[in-house]
Amino acid sequence: MGLFLGIPYQAIGIGLGFLLGIWAFIEADTVKGRAFIGTTMITIFILPVVWRRPAAGMVSFICWIFFGLGCYIFLKWRGEFPWR
């Protein structure tokens, strides 16, 4: 614990993935795209509740990271970031 100084890296990763997902949801052009993004977010959020195993939290965290990366790539591809 000394090296990490008590910083909740998992909560930061989930928060970034969630915020990028909301941004991608707003920027999506079609209803189908918004439905896919919303359904994915709900599924990842509900996963640890439905699947009561010790590994469910870690699987959910990994899914949030990949989801956040996918949203980042989507937003970068669309040119929504002011920095390049």
* pLDDT tens column, 35-77: 999 999 999 888 888 988 878 888 888 888 899 888 888 888 8
Q: What is the pLDDT of residue 40?
A: 92
Q: Tell me 5's DSSP state.
A: T
Q: What is the pLDDT of residue 39?
A: 92
Rg over alpha carbons for the chain, rounded to the nearest Å, is: 14
